[in-house]
């Protein structure tokens, strides 16, 4: 079966610092990886994705790195803001042709001013 | 920005009762999904739906569950006879296509409490 796990359940940073959230996955057949953010009382919100033929992708203040050799995914947030406080999920998509997503356990990011 | 909307936000029901959770996906999206999240646990896939039929379902999605797109805008999840262990947040999602560069957009969920 597939599994997705994050390294830390909670990450505390100061406002303005860079944050790095790490994730390990077990299924080498996954072709698509996504980071979602979930704020309290809301549904998961798409942040950034990366295909398996890439090792890095950048968005606005966020960068996702993929290391397929060790099955490791990370999300980097630059200049973290209090509004970034949320639970971050590492998600893989199974190769079923449809969007069956497998969510990790989530890392809670706490940003203090 | 278009949103997936879910109603109600909180539903309380007694064990054995039927419940229908409602969702309005983003209007030009063609693929629809239900996920659930038991308190403190992972978000889990339940079912995907395309072209008026189920395209994939998980082991959780047994005969007690059904989905329907009764009209051009709504997408519903029905649980026929609720059990205590059905208590969870249920998230509806939609996507324009299946595949890369077509992320799922989630609603804010319905919290189902079975007593």
**Per-residue model confidence as pLDDT tens digits over B2-24:** 799 999 999 999 999 999 999 99
Q: Are B111 and B11 in contact (CB under 8 A)?
A: yes
Q: Higher confidence at residue A104 or residue B91?
A: B91
Average pLDDT over residues A12-33: 90
Q: How confident is the model at residue A58 (pLDDT cuts 50, 70, 90)?
A: very high
Using alpha carbons, select from A53, A36, A38, A45 the residue that is nearest to residue A86: A38
Average of per-residue pLDDT across B71-83: 94
- pLDDT for the residue numbered A94: 75
pLDDT greater than 70 at residue A97: no
pLDDT number for residue A4: 75
Query: For A71, how many CA atoms within 13 A lie in the half-sphere containing its CB?
Result: 15
Q: Quick check: A1 pLDDT over 60? A: no
Are the beta carbons of A20 and A7 closer than 8 angstroms? no
Q: Which CATH number fits domain B5-100: 3.40.1160.10, 3.10.20.30, 3.40.190.10, 2.60.40.10?
A: 2.60.40.10
d(CA A31, CA A50): 9
Strand partners, B94: B32, B105
Biggest CA–CA distance in chain B, Å, is 41
Which residues of chain B from 12 to 51 reach within 8 Å of chain A, CB to CB? 31, 33, 35, 42-45, 48, 50
Q: How far apart are alpha carbons A9 and B3 in whole angstroms?
A: 29
User: How sure is the predictor about B41, in pLDDT bands with cuts at 50, 70 and 90?
Assistant: confident
When scoring A89, A98, A99, A107 by the number of chain B Cβ atoms within 10 A, the one with the most, hence best to mutate, is A99
Nearest-Cα distance to chain A for B109, in Å, is: 6
Nearest chain A Cα distance for residue B106, angstroms:
6
Interface test with B, best of A42, A44, A46, A87 (most B CBs within 10 A): A44
CA distances in angstroms from B53 to A17, B40, B68, listed in the order given: 47, 31, 8
Domains plus CATH for chain A? 4-112 (2.60.40.10)
Task: Tell me how long chain A is.
Answer: 113
Instruction: Please give the residue of chain A at the shortest CA–CA distance from B55.
Output: A98
Residues of A within 8 A of B32 (CB-CB) are: none
């Amino acid at each position: 079966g597939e599994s997705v796990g994050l390294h830390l359940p909670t990450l505390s940073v100061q406002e303005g610092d860079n944050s790095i959230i790490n994730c390990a996955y077990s299924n080498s057949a996954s072709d698509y990886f996504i980071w979602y953010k979930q704020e309290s009382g809301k549904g998961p919100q798409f942040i950034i994705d990366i295909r398996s033929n890439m090792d890095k992708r950048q968005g606005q203040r966020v960068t996702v790195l993929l290391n397929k050799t060790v099955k490791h995914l990370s999300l980097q947030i630059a200049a973290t803001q209090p509004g970034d406080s949320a639970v971050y999920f590492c998600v893989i998509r199974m190769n079923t042709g449809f969007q069956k997503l497998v969510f990790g356990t989530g890392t809670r990011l706490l940003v203090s001013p | 920005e278009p949103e997936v909307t879910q109603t109600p936000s909180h539903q309380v029901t007694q064990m054995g009762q039927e419940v229908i959770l409602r969702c309005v996906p983003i209007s030009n999206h063609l693929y629809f999904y239900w996920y659930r999240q038991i308190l403190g646990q992972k978000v889990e896939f339940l079912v995907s739906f395309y072209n008026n039929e189920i395209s994939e379902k998980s082991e959780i999605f047994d005969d007690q569950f059904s989905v329907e797109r009764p009209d051009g805008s709504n997408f519903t999840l029905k649980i026929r006879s609720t059990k205590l262990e059905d208590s969870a947040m249920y998230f509806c999602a939609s996507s324009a296509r299946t595949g890369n560069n077509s992320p799922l957009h989630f609603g804010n969920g319905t919290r189902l409490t079975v007593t």
